[in-house]
């Protein structure tokens, strides 16, 4: 009898964790496993604010998939998925089609621009190695060319960041460290550069309590970041964002040489386009992380919607959730293949750490509030723990942040 075919699409946190754990859970005779991903490398999305600002080389945030996922156990195919046909047990890719008995969807997120005019065309987003390389190069070009312009425009050196959630704040924090280096490198007076973080809500980082938010604002403002709160981006043009303060009728134009949108994310649109029943664009999975419509389709990471039983609200889309799902799903697939009952997935919130740039962060772990260097150390531990879980001590030593030899 032929072996059941397990197809994993997307090699992000959810897909990689599922693949590496399936290798441990199953014997080679249990199933044929295939992993499909757009690139031949896996990147740690959670580190991308650093290469975007230019404070860490992008190669530090990626690894070849074949080095981490044993090619003798998992067939890797570099290809781009264009559609899922769940009624036919097929996935369509740019280069053909793949049939499956069990499908794991781990295609991650897309930036959500909420239909705001001009954002898709004129703003950069922090999504992948490709998108962050563009941000870094663009900012560097603005600095490098500034002194060569016949009539230099100061707004060329303004970086406007839309959205002060975790992505926006972690990114402006890195910029605050990078800008003085760029100024030195290109003979530019620091006072000519503006980093503006625009947020519609009355506060940055709405999920942190006031004490930590005040600390973050103080630390970042002291490094020259400007926060514009209660202010919504209404439109984006090639050289500006049009904003409106809450309760005001007036619009203001903020000119900027670089515009980065970090105002929200949504599930990969392939899910909705493929005709799955969705809730906020995501597949609301059951306790076994299964689609309610197709019992052989599982979903992990940002394409899945899981209710947090403690808060009775959807779990936020995080790497933490995707990793926990990957571990649980690999076990459940073993149970299914061995005709055993599945185990219900329960999300365990281990806390949140927001980086405020090198050596600084804020964190909430259980009922503990941590700030400064201890929180920054915790962030590195969290980042390295993922590498340890994924590829063991070897990967952590080679690619991790706590490695003193780098």
CB of residue 321 vs ligand FAD: minimum separation in angstroms?
Answer: 7
Among 102, 109, 143, 146, binds ligand FAD (CB under 6 A): 109
Closest listed residue to residue 230, CA positions, set 262, 197, 193, 256: 197
15 is an interface residue for ligand FAD by CB under 6 A: yes
Pick the catalytic residue: 25, 97, 170, 226? 170
86 is an interface residue for ligand FAD by CB under 6 A: no
In this structure, the strands spanning 361-365 and 352-355 are: antiparallel
Q: Is 310 a catalytic residue?
A: no
Nearer to ligand FAD by Cβ, of 200 and 301: the residue is: 301
Site for ligand FAD in 219-278 (CB under 6 A): 268, 270
Nearer to ligand FAD by Cβ, of 110 and 235: the residue is: 110
Nearer to ligand FAD by Cβ, of 8 and 188: the residue is: 8
Contact of 307 with 301, CB cutoff 8 Å = no
Nearer to ligand NAD by Cβ, of 220 and 265: the residue is: 265
CA distance 168 to 177: 15
CA distance 107 to 95: 17
125 is an interface residue for ligand FAD by CB under 6 A: no
Among 49, 136, 334, 399, binds ligand FAD (CB under 6 A): 49
- End-to-end CA distance of the chain: give it in Å, rounded: 50
Nearer to ligand FAD by Cβ, of 11 and 364: the residue is: 11
> Which residues form the interface with ligand NAD (CB under 6 A)?
116, 162-168, 170, 198-201, 206, 232-233, 262-265, 316-318, 352-354
In this structure, the strands spanning 74-78 and 32-37 are: parallel
Which conformational region is residue 187 in: left (phi greater than 0), alpha (psi within -120 to 50 degrees), or beta?
left
CB of residue 207 vs ligand FAD: minimum separation in angstroms?
Answer: 12
CB of residue 349 vs ligand FAD: minimum separation in angstroms?
Answer: 10
Instruction: Match 């630390």 to its residue by tokens.
Output: 219
Query: Residue 110's CB: how many other CB atoms inside 10 A?
Result: 16
Among 51, 54, 86, 106, binds ligand FAD (CB under 6 A): 106
Nearer to ligand FAD by Cβ, of 188 and 265: the residue is: 265
Q: How far is CA 292 from CA 57, 144, 184, 282, 405, in A?
A: 41, 53, 56, 12, 48
CA distance 377 to 383: 10
317 is an interface residue for ligand FAD by CB under 6 A: yes
Q: Which does 37 bind (CB under 5 to 8 A by kind): ligand NAD, ligand FAD, none?
A: ligand FAD
Q: Which does 38 bind (CB under 5 to 8 A by kind): ligand FAD, ligand NAD, none?
A: ligand FAD
In this structure, the strands spanning 240-245 and 102-105 are: unpaired
The two structure tokens encoding residue 227: 């926060």
Nearer to ligand FAD by Cβ, of 109 and 146: the residue is: 109
Q: Which does 316 bind (CB under 5 to 8 A by kind): ligand FAD, ligand NAD, none?
A: ligand NAD
Query: Residue 292's CB: how many other CB atoms inside 10 A?
Result: 12
Site for ligand FAD in 133-192 (CB under 6 A): 167, 170
Among 18, 45, 197, 291, binds ligand FAD (CB under 6 A): 45
Helix H or strand E segment including 75: strand 74-78
Q: How far is CA 277 from CA 53, 293, 295, in A?
A: 38, 8, 13
Among 14, 54, 162, 281, binds ligand FAD (CB under 6 A): 14
CA distance 203 to 252: 20
CB of residue 347 vs ligand FAD: minimum separation in angstroms?
Answer: 11
Phi, psi angle pair for 254, to nearest 5°: -110, 115
Q: Is the dihedral of CA 43, 77, 17, 103 positive or negative?
A: positive
CB of residue 234 vs ligand NAD: minimum separation in angstroms?
Answer: 7
Query: Residue 254's CB: how many other CB atoms inside 10 A?
Result: 19
List residues binding ligand FAD (CB under 6 A).
Answer: 10-15, 36-39, 45-46, 48-49, 80-81, 106-109, 126, 128, 167, 170, 268, 270, 301-302, 317-320, 322
**Which residues have a catalytic role annotated?**
170
């Amino acid at each position: 009898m032929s072996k059941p075919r397990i197809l994993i699409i997307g090699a992000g946190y959810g897909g990689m964790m599922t693949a590496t754990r399936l290798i441990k859970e199953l014997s080679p005779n249990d199933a044929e496993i295939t992993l499909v991903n757009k690139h031949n490398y896996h990147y740690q999305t959670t580190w991308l604010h650093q290469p975007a600002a230019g404070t860490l080389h992008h190669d530090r945030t990626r690894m070849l998939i074949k080095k981490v996922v044993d090619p003798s156990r998992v067939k890797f195919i570099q290809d781009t998925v264009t559609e899922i046909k769940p009624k036919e047990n097929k996935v369509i890719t740019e280069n053909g089609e793949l049939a499956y008995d069990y499908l794991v969807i781990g295609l991650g997120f897309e930036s959500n621009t909420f239909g705001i005019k001009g954002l898709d065309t004129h703003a950069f987003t922090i999504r992948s190695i490709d998108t962050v390389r563009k941000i870094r190069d663009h900012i560097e070009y603005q600095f490098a060319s500034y002194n060569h312009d016949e009539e230099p425009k100061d707004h060329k050196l303004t970086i406007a960041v839309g959205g002060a959630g975790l992505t926006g704040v972690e990114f402006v924090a890195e910029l605050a460290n990078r800008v003085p280096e760029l100024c030195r490198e290109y003979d530019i007076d620091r006072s000519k550069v503006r980093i503006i973080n625009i947020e519609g809500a009355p506060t940055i980082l709405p999920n942190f309590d006031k004490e930590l938010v005040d600390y973050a604002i103080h630390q970042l403002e002291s490094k020259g970041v400007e926060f514009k709160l209660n202010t919504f981006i209404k439109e984006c043009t090639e050289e500006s964002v049009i904003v409106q303060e809450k309760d005001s009728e007036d619009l203001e134009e903020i000119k900027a040489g670089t515009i980065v949108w970090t105002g929200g994310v949504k599930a990969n649109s392939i899910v909705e386009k493929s005709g799955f029943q969705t809730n906020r664009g995501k597949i609301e999975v059951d306790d076994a992380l299964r689609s309610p419509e197709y019992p052989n389709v599982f979903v992990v990471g940002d394409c899945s919607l899981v209710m947090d039983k403690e808060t009775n609200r959807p779990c936020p889309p995080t790497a933490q959730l995707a990793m926990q799902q990957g571990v649980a799903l690999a076990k459940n697939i073993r149970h299914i293949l061995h005709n055993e009952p599945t185990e219900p997935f329960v999300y365990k919130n281990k806390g949140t750490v927001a980086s405020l740039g090198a050596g600084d962060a804020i964190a909430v772990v259980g009922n503990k509030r941590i700030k400064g260097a201890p929180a920054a150390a915790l962030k590195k531990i969290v980042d390295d723990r993922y590498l340890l879980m994924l590829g063991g001590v070897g990967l952590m030593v080679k690619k991790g942040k706590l490695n003193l030899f780098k």
